[in-house]
Amino acid sequence: MVIDDHDPAWAALAGRAGEELTAALPGLFRAIEHVGSTSVPGLAAKPIIDLMASVDTLEQVTPERAAVLARLGYVSEETGMTGRFFYYRADGAGRRAFHLHVVTAASWPTRNERLLRDHLRAHPEAAAEYAAVKRRLAAERRSGLEYTKGKTEVIQRLIDREREARGLPRVDVWED
């Protein structure tokens, strides 16, 4: 697993990908935002751009619209996460370069991915703590699932803080 120092180009890559999605599927997405570690300036990250897009209902992602996503290189993947569609897109070398999470507009304001991003942007000490955990897990050569589960404790704590600050109820970050 590779954890890179923050690359300022990540924001531009996310912006272009969002514009491409909006142009290819006009009227589908209410919003598309850059989330995940690559969206936090200064934060070390796996070099994969995470995008979160909201739609009125998941049923709007019809087979025809999913085919458009496929033509753009987005591959649907079943993750077991409820209330969303998940896609990935590889780069020219076949490595994952983008993740696309499609969620409902009703869930948009309370999505943990957006809340974590906002918290890390506003609290550099939390971002530094999170980066240290990620680098430690990557150095231990954990599998992708072990790496993700290994981050759960710190992510839960940070999201709990952000949800409390916004008056939102606590929810588990691990979606089984």
Asked whether residue 74 is domain-assigned, the answer is yes
Domain count of the fold of the chain: 1
Asked whether residue 138 is domain-assigned, the answer is yes
pTM (predicted TM-score)? 0.94
Asked whether residue 4 is domain-assigned, the answer is no
Determine the Cα–Cα distance for residues 128 and 97; give it in Å rounded to an integer. 24
pLDDT tens, position by position, for the chain (176 residues)?
789 999 999 999 999 999 999 999 999 999 999 999 999 999 999 999 999 999 999 999 999 999 999 999 999 999 888 899 999 999 999 999 999 999 999 999 999 999 999 999 999 999 999 999 999 998 887 677 888 889 999 999 999 999 999 999 999 987 65
Domain span at residue 119 reads 9-165
Phi-psi region of 37 (alpha: psi -120 to 50; beta: other; left: phi over 0): alpha
Asked whether residue 77 is domain-assigned, the answer is yes
Q: What are the tokens at 110?
A: 């309370």
Asked whether residue 52 is domain-assigned, the answer is yes
Q: What are the tokens at 83?
A: 């209330």
Determine the Cα–Cα distance for residues 148 and 150; give it in Å rounded to an integer. 5
- Give me the helix-helix angle, 63-71 and 9-24, nearest 10°: 140
- The CATH number linked to 121 is 3.30.460.10
Determine the Cα–Cα distance for residues 55 and 53; give it in Å rounded to an integer. 7
Asked whether residue 1 is domain-assigned, the answer is no
Asked whether residue 170 is domain-assigned, the answer is no
